Structure 1
Amino acid sequence: MLRLTFLMRRKQSLSREEMQRYWLEKHAPIVAGHSQALGVLRYVQAHTTEDDHSRLTGRRGDMEEPYDGVAEVWWESREAMFAATRSDEGRDVDRILREDEEHFLDLKKSVAWFNYEYPQVNPTPENIVATERSSLVKLYFPLRQLDSLSVEDAQWYWRTHHGPVIRHQAHGSGIIRYQQVHRDEPELTTSLNSSRGSEIDPYLGHAEVWMDRNSMGNPTPENKAASKRAYEDEANFIDFSRSSMFLTKEHVIVDRR
């Protein structure tokens, strides 16, 4: 399954609330209405919350500012995405979407990439959603590797070393679900960002974690120890100053799974 992650920054003339309202009420119906033409399997909007996200970084120090939201799109396969988006109808729809994005996004400061998922803590069925009315939140951690590491080396360490660290302590740290989402398809990613005028380098990928606010607000000794172990291992491959971390609430717009 192929996935697209699109980190969004709003136009300066809009507040975060205004941007998110337009995105959900105006842009989402356009995407949903054309989703079959684009071959979309699933489309989710993750809206950044009004939490004090600086409290998330802890020992990591200063990190990049949180984005205002994340658009997530899934296709059944790379081939399915190609067949739909490279048709005449698919190209017309992409133009329509891009023109509407200009109403609420600063496209130069937004960035997207294609990726593949590596589930780490994954209850079944895969139906956990951090809705507005639940106490669940979804944490995004878009990350870039240390300059001393190649993309391949950093992703390998992330999968084979860091993944087990988090899996082994998931229960003690209040994690309900955890996925690594690794950037791939470099040519497709470059083409997409070029079409939207992005000036931001794509991330190595992102970690996504679903948690309950109740466990976040009452840190236990086990939770504190787990956070320390996670940070110490992250420091082996992540450049925190070029990474970001923020909480979101999810809106499922299309789901044909």
Structure 2
Amino acid sequence: MLRLTFLLRRREDMSRQDMQRYWFEEHGSLVAGHSRTLGMLRYVQVHTTDDDHTRLPGRRGQMEEPYDGVVEVWWESKQAMIEATRSEEGRKVDQMLREDEKNFLDLKRSVAWFNYEYPQVNPTPENVVATERSSLVKLYFPLRHLDSLTFDEAQWYWRTHHGPVIRRQAHGSGIVRYQQVHRDEPDLTDAINRSRGSETEPYLGHAEVWMDRSSMGNPTPENRAASKRAYEDEANFIDFSRSTMFLAKEHVIIDRR
């Protein structure tokens, strides 16, 4: 299954609240109405919360500012996505959506990439969602790798070494679900960013972690020890100064899986 991640920054003349409202009420309806034309299996809006995100990095130091939200789209396959979006009708819909994005997004400072998921802590059925009314929250961690590593080396380390580190301590960390989402399909990624005039470098991928807020407000000794081990291993492959993290809530608009 192919997935799109699109990190969003709002226009400078809009508040985050106004941007998220337009995105959900106006743009979301447009996407939903044309989702079958575009071959979408699932479409989710991930809205950054009003939490104090400056406290999240901790010992990671200064990181990039949080994004205002994330678009997530799934297709059955790469071929299914290409056939739908490059059809005559698909091109018309894509053009219409790109024009509407200008009403609420700073497209130069937003960035998208195609990717594949590598579940690490994954309860079944896969129905964990950090809805607005749920006590769950989703931690989004878009990351870039150290210059001392190649793209492939960093993804390999992340997948084969860091993944097991987090899995071993998931219970002590209060993690409900954890996925690594690795950037791939460079030609498609380049094309979608060119079409929107993005001037932002895509990330290596992103980690996404679902947690209950009750495990975050009053960390136990186990929580603190797990966080320390996670950070120490992250430092082996992540350039924190070019990465970011933020908390968010999920709005599932379309789900046909």
Quickly name the TM-score band, shorter chain normalised. Answer: over 0.9
Deviations 1:10-51 (A, max 9, x none): 000000000000000000000000000000000000000000
Stretches of structure 2 that go unaligned for 5 or more consecutive residues are none
Aligned to 2:240: 240
Could you tell me how far 1:218 is from its partner in structure 2? 1.2
* 1:56 equivalent in alignment to 2:59: no
Aligned to 1:197: 197
Residue-pair matches, total: 257
* 1:14 equivalent in alignment to 2:14: yes
Matches of 1:35 and 1:236, distance apart in 2: 40
Aligned to 1:27: 27
Matches of 2:121 and 2:151, distance apart in 1: 23
Aligned to 1:91: 91
Q: TM-score, normalised by structure 1?
A: 1.00
* 1:172 equivalent in alignment to 2:175: no
* 1:102 equivalent in alignment to 2:102: yes
The secondary structure found in structure 2 opposite 1:172 is: helix
* 1:143 equivalent in alignment to 2:138: no
Aligned to 1:72: 72
Matches of 2:30 and 2:158, distance apart in 1: 36
- Tell me which amino acid in the other structure corresponds to 1:43: Y
Stretches of structure 1 that go unaligned for 5 or more consecutive residues are none
Deviations 1:147-199 (A, max 9, x none): 01111000000000000000000000000000000000001000100000000
- Tell me which amino acid in the other structure corresponds to 1:256: R
- Tell me which amino acid in the other structure corresponds to 1:51: D
Deviations 1:28-79 (A, max 9, x none): 0000000000000000000000000111100000000000000000000001
Query: Identity, % of aligned pairs?
Result: 80
Q: How does 1:118-157 map to 2 (within 5 A)?
A: 118-157=118-157
Deviations 1:75-126 (A, max 9, x none): 0000110110010011001001000000000000000000000000000000
Matches of 1:138 and 1:152, distance apart in 2: 27
- Tell me which amino acid in the other structure corresponds to 2:177: R
Q: CA RMSD in A?
A: 0.3
- Tell me which amino acid in the other structure corresponds to 1:83: E
The secondary structure found in structure 1 opposite 2:14 is: coil
- Tell me which amino acid in the other structure corresponds to 2:185: E
Matches of 2:154 and 2:35, distance apart in 1: 34
Matches of 1:13 and 1:210, distance apart in 2: 31
- Tell me which amino acid in the other structure corresponds to 1:238: I
* 1:212 equivalent in alignment to 2:209: no
- Tell me which amino acid in the other structure corresponds to 1:42: R
Matches of 1:96 and 1:138, distance apart in 2: 30
Deviations 1:218-244 (A, max 9, x none): 100000000000000000000000000
Matches of 1:42 and 1:71, distance apart in 2: 11
Matches of 1:150 and 1:186, distance apart in 2: 15
Matches of 1:208 and 1:158, distance apart in 2: 13
Matches of 1:118 and 1:218, distance apart in 2: 30
Deviations 1:189-216 (A, max 9, x none): 0010000000000000000000000000
